[in-house]
Amino acid sequence: MNVDLIVAVIVSAIAYGTPLVLAGLGELLAERSGVLNLGVEGMMLMGAVTGFFVSQQLGGPGWVVLIIAMIMAAAAGALMALIHAFLSITVRVNQIVSGLALTIFAGMAGLSSYAGQVWGIGGQHGVHQLTRVDLFGLGEIPVIGPILFDQDPFVYLSWGLVALVAWYLYRTRTGLYLRAVGESPRSADAMGINVTRYRYVHTIVGGALAGLGGAYFTLAIAPIWTDGLTAGSGWIAIALVIFAFWRPDLLLLGAYLFGALSSLGFTLQAHGVQMPSEFFSSLPYLMTVVVLAGASTTLARRRIGTPASLGVPYVREEG
Amino acid sequence: MISHVEAGPASAGTATAGLAPAVAATGVTKRFAGGVVANDHVSFEARSGEVHALLGENGAGKTTLCNILTGLYHPDEGEIQVNGSPVRLHSPHEAQRFGIFMVHQHLSLVDSLTVAENVVLGWSRHGGLRYSPRQVEAEIAEIAARYHMQVDPHARIWQLSLGERQRIDILKALYRDARILILDEPTTVLTPAETEQLFASIRELVAAGRSVVFISHKLPEVLAVANRITILRKGRSVTTVDAAGVDARELARLMVGHDMPAGRVRRAVAGGATPVVEERGVLELDRVCADGDFGMQVLHEVSLSVRPGEIVGIAGVAGNGQRELAEVIAGLRPHTRGTIRVDGAELRGGDPRAAINRGVAYVPEDRMGTGVSPSLSVTENLMLKSYRRDAPHAGPMLLMDRADAQSRALMEQFDIRSRGPHALVRQLSGGNVQKVVLARELSSQPRVLVAASPTRGLDVGATEYVHGVLVDSARRGVGILLISEDLDEIVELSDRIAVLYEGRVVGIVDAAAASYEQLGMMMAGAA
């Protein structure tokens, strides 16, 4: 194999992996607090449609428009997550039901499609698109240049966020409290940690990241809106969190692995390698099934460090 | 807030009456939904430099009182004072600001975090966002050295024994400069040696002017460690006495409200008669090996024999293979080598139904999780094992009326107190839950009974009752394997005692000839 092909595979793995990094980090934060959010797919779609709509409506310098669009996409995801937080933390609805309901509500044939129609952005071609930024002119360096220094701002942002979340989890007191809340809310409560607040905040921040991940599709990959364009990325992000053992560093690697699987078909085709495209496009989903099935075996569950209270509402025992 | 009362070692236990107590409750009343009055005008005061015991049976209101002192519950009436000033405690956090800390019965540590991480959870000496493991570890080492505690700050909680975990919980309170330390049944999980260590630490704490509120229903240890004792009975504070001026008998009378039969149940009930001894054991283990939850071998060539009518006690520090041994016999865990025979017939490994059919009854350690199904009724729980054969049925239909009648009879026989056969088991007290388990297991006419920690967490009355049932079953020819961390219980009830250490039987001794020193050495792996 030639070096160009490998570089091309890695570059597109990063491009396709970035929404997974963002949404996966969000899910990781929520799950670390003990809240399972199966609404990621819906939140990503809401982020995608909102981001695209905002970028189409606003005038002004492209980068200002795009930043505002990203913020609004995050806000859309956060708003959805607020619903999930309220239902699963305050009302203590079954988290699986609440998350699934949100994905159905906002998903393919739901709110995101409706918003796309009402806002009339279906056939439009985007005015703005985030493009690659060659950092300090280092993009010219062979091999590592295109991989590390010639990416769009979303990618740099996602790398910063991974480092930030890793530092937050393991080197700050709030991060320590977050881990305690996800492991043993009872102990955390007894230590005076506000379990409800931690869960709300991290679920909502998680939703914002999912929205941002969705916006990557419409603001960076291709500036168009079609119904259900995230194509199951939300579900892959959820599997990814398990695959990464709830660790941000592994999550980054895992996301690029999934990204590589998603993009392998196109990349190989573009380089003249002939393989049935259906096979390649099914790979990430196949991988998702394998990861989820593997993670649900008892042996794996004991060893991989699932937050012990994941999916369990916290009720202080009184009265 | 008034500054802390400084009391030196000299005033330990004899703090002058004029000095405000470190913490006091006056007329505290707490009612729960459903009309239960857990605390009914309870009053007590703990002075600085004093170990103050709260003594009472389960359900006497000790834990409720402590939850009030630590801000978890809010009293409906009455007042809490710290250093003489009334305080309102709305949360554990607030109680901690007044220096009140509780070491919980169900320890409040996070298993997957390290010792250091647990210690700084919710509070750090250093403000700010950063958490620096190295700094915290140094501070922990310093406190541990001052109070002569052995602690590894890097260890993760799940790797530690229950005794070590308790030490971490105490250390956590000291890290926050606790002035008043509340220990809820702290010795339940400890070996005799660990208990001695704990008492030594407690004495050093009060010598440094701190106060310890010591909750227990065990008379000897209350007498051994406390300066003064407040007795709670049915939610009321009966009286407060000086530990120096009472004996165990007097305390027992105050605690249960009437004289208790003296210990030595086995001798008393069985009249000292030696059990029927047959050559062949009803339960025979021959070089049985088994793996633990994480795939490591935890039982190493365990050979044991229990004869009909005999109680064989398994002594040992928790985590030396007791749980796995019980599970292997009950068929819940496959053995990897060796044979298990019941009445001479070999038992297939990992098949609980085969074990049940051969006449193995099992009282599991984890009462609520494994022993009963908490959300089912008493009747349903009593039927859980017999539904396949003996339950009253018409074709595939269960006849619930007849089942209720049967369970009423069992409730009578085993003195199960509940609202009736339809009461949910999770609404029952610990003692009554255990009676449900015993009733179910013994009503199947077992040949062998494996009882794992059958009296853990039960009050004096219920414990005596369970002991009576065990002795009685043995007299009717059931072979009993009694696994317990309570050495007194083992010595009191057993005919022979086998000691487990690191998954091996390190010795089997005649109970009559056993000494605590010898058993203690064996349990510690020193013999």
End-to-end CA distance of chain B: 55
Mean pLDDT of chain B: 83
* Crossing angle for the helix pair A173-183 and A153-171, to the nearest 10 degrees: 80
Q: How far apart are CA A211 and CA A205, in angstroms?
A: 10
Residues 6+ apart with CB under 8 A from A198: A33, A177, A178, A181, A188
DSSP conformation letters of B342-377:
ETTEEPPTT-HHHHHHTTEEEE-SSIIIII--TTSB
Nearest CA in chain A to B295: A299
Q: What's the pLDDT tens digit per position in B393-441? A: 777 788 888 888 888 988 988 888 888 888 888 888 888 899 999 999 9
Quick one: tokens of A49?
Answer: 């449609």
Do A118 and A64 touch, CB atoms closer than 8 A?
Answer: no
Q: What is the pLDDT of residue B124?
A: 67
Q: B92, A305: Cβ pair inside 8 Å?
A: no
Task: Flag whether pLDDT at B255 surpasses 70.
Answer: yes
Q: What is the pLDDT of residue B263?
A: 36
How many percent of chain B have pLDDT more than 90?
Answer: 31
Partner-chain residue, chosen from B33, B121, B129, that has the shortest CB–CB distance to A180: B121
CATH code for the domain in which residue A43 is found: 1.10.3470
Nearest CA in chain B to A301: B294
Mutate to test the interface with A, among B125, B131, B134 (most CBs of A within 10 A): B131
A310 in any annotated domain: no
Q: What's the pLDDT tens digit per position in A8-38? A: 889 889 989 999 999 999 999 999 999 999 9
A267 in any annotated domain: yes
Task: Flag whether pLDDT at A139 surpasses 80.
Answer: no
This prediction has a pTM of 0.67
Count of the separate structural domains present in chain A = 1
- Residue A266, φ and ψ in degrees, nearest 5: -60, -45
Do A210 and A23 touch, CB atoms closer than 8 A?
Answer: yes
Task: Flag whether pLDDT at A46 surpasses 50.
Answer: yes
Question: How far does the CA of residue B335 sit from the closest CA of chain A (Å)?
Answer: 18
Q: Which H or E element spans position B86?
A: strand B85-87
A307 in any annotated domain: no
Find the range with the poorest average confidence among A37-51, A234-248, B219-233, B503-517. B503-517
Q: What is the pLDDT of residue B261?
A: 38
- The torsion region of residue B209 among left (phi > 0), alpha (psi -120 to 50) and beta comes to left
Count other C-beta atoms under 10 Å from residue A289's C-beta.
11
Do B439 and B411 touch, CB atoms closer than 8 A?
Answer: yes
Find the range with the poorest average confidence among A206-210, B103-107, B287-291. B103-107
Q: How far apart are CA A42 and CA A211, in angstroms?
A: 9
Which residues of chain B make contact with A176, given a CB cutoff of 8 A?
113, 117, 120-121, 131
* Crossing angle for the helix pair A248-270 and A277-295, to the nearest 10 degrees: 160
Q: What's the pLDDT tens digit per position in B12-61? A: 344 444 578 999 999 999 987 666 788 999 999 999 999 999 988 766 88
| B151: exposed, middle or buried (Cβ count in 10 Å: 0-12, 13-18, 19+) | buried
Partner-chain residue, chosen from B91, B109, B294, that has the shortest CB–CB distance to A187: B109
Q: A305, B112: Cβ pair inside 8 Å?
A: yes
Tell me which residue of B180, B188, B216 sits closest to B54, measured CA to CA: B216
Which residues of chain A make contact with B91, given a CB cutoff of 8 A?
192
Q: Is B93 on the interface with A (CB under 8 A)?
A: yes
Average pLDDT over residues A227-241: 90
A296 in any annotated domain: yes
A311 in any annotated domain: no
Q: What is the pLDDT of residue B256?
A: 66
Q: What is the pLDDT of residue B7?
A: 36
How many percent of chain A have pLDDT more than 90?
Answer: 47
Question: How far does the CA of residue A316 sit from the closest CA of chain B (Å)?
Answer: 9
A308 in any annotated domain: no
Q: Is B294 on the interface with A (CB under 8 A)?
A: yes
Q: How far apart are CA B285 and CA B304, in angstroms?
A: 5
A316 in any annotated domain: no
A225 in any annotated domain: yes
Q: How far apart are CA A64 and CA A54, in angstroms?
A: 11
Helix, strand or coil, per DSSP, at residue B482: strand
Which residues of chain B make contact with A305, given a CB cutoff of 8 A?
112
Quick one: tokens of A17?
Answer: 């992996």
Task: Flag whether pLDDT at B197 surpasses 60.
Answer: yes
Count other C-beta atoms under 10 Å from residue B101's C-beta.
24
Domain ranges, residue A287:
3-302
Amino acid (1-letter code) at residue B451: A
Q: A192, B72: Cβ pair inside 8 Å?
A: no
